């Protein structure tokens, strides 16, 4: 693999190269790492398995210490590939609470925010196939 980022690189068994690919990827490719599965109802409606998480979507945590909790996506950090959800906080030693970062792959989208016209078009276009 090249020093920065290579579009032609396909795969490797070596974890260090996999991590390097994830870290050095440009933002338009990192956006693809923020996909989460849709609920059964949404999957049947849109004929799509997963979609990118957007601020305002209602999600359920499927893995980790917050498993089973639901909330709205408050912030999506594209550079770190993390998602921050309301009501999912961790208490610090001094007693204050802070948002806990989650991976998008550990979330299940329960309700979509459909304010964006491009997002609606993209959902309809893929469902027609």
Would you say residue 41 lies in a domain?
yes
Parent domain of 42 = 35-127
Would you say residue 106 lies in a domain?
yes
**79, 24 contact by CB (below 8 A):** no
Would you say residue 5 lies in a domain?
no
Residue 55: φ, ψ to 5°:
-55, 125
* Tens digits of residue pLDDT in 31-44: 999 999 999 999 99
Q: Over 70: is that where the pLDDT of 126 sits? A: no
Would you say residue 15 lies in a domain?
no
* Tens digits of residue pLDDT in 70-83: 999 999 999 999 99
Q: Where are the beta strands (DSSP E) in the chain?
A: 35-38, 50-52, 58-61, 70-77, 82-91, 97-102, 107-111
């Amino acid at each position: 693999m090249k020093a920065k980022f290579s579009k032609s690189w396909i795969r490797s068994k070596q974890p260090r190269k996999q991590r390097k690919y994830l870290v050095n990827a440009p933002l338009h490719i990192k956006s693809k790492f923020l996909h989460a599965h849709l609920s059964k109802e949404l999957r049947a409606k849109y004929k799509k398995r997963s979609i990118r998480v957007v601020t305002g979507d209602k999600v359920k945590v499927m893995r980790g210490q917050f498993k089973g909790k639901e909330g709205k996506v408050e912030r999506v950090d594209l550079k770190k590939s993390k998602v921050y959800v309301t009501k999912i906080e961790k208490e610090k030693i001094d007693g204050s609470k802070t948002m806990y970062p989650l991976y998008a792959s550990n979330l299940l989208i329960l309700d979509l925010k459909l304010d964006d016209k491009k997002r609606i078009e993209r959902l309809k276009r893929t469902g027609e196939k």
